[in-house]
Amino acid sequence: MSPSVEKAIEELRSSFQDCELDVETDAAGGAYVVIRGIPLGAPYSQADTWISFQITFQYPYADVYPHFARPDLTRLDGRPLGEGFGQAQFRNQPAIQISRRSNKLNPAIDTATLKLLKVLQWLRTHP
């Protein structure tokens, strides 16, 4: 892993201390990340989820995108998940893809941790 990807992993571990974090290096200097046990709750039927993503070797100059969540994610009110979600696979595992691209990436401040926190905030407040 590149030093910047290693630093991103350390920041994720620090920010999600109550969650299980699995990391596997990719063949190009990046890493695949799975964080399990992220609290979720309303508006979703599930109390928690896992979130997966890849941090590529271009990090911090490349967006950490997309993110993936548990494949059985559903809403309490029975409505569809809606825009920004899609059925997908991540590393040959069924998943829900969460599409939240950073259009104005600033590599000085837009870390993998900040991006995940923004995705989680969007998930929890998405109508």
Mean pLDDT of the chain: 96
Question: What single-letter amino acid sits at 51?
Answer: I
- Residues 63-99 pLDDT 10s: 999 999 999 999 999 999 999 999 999 999 999 999 9
Query: What residues does 94 pair with on adjacent strands?
Result: 89
User: 17: which 2 tokens?
Assistant: 């201390």
pLDDT band at 41 (very low <50, low <70, confident <90, very high): confident
3 state DSSP class of 104: coil
pLDDT over threshold 90, residue 126? no
pTM confidence score: 0.95
Kindly report the number of other CB atoms within 10 A of residue 86's CB atom.
13
Report the 10 Å Cβ neighbour count for 111: 20
**Domains recognised in the chain with CATH numbers:** 3-125 (3.10.110)
Query: How is residue 4 written in tokens?
Result: 């910047």
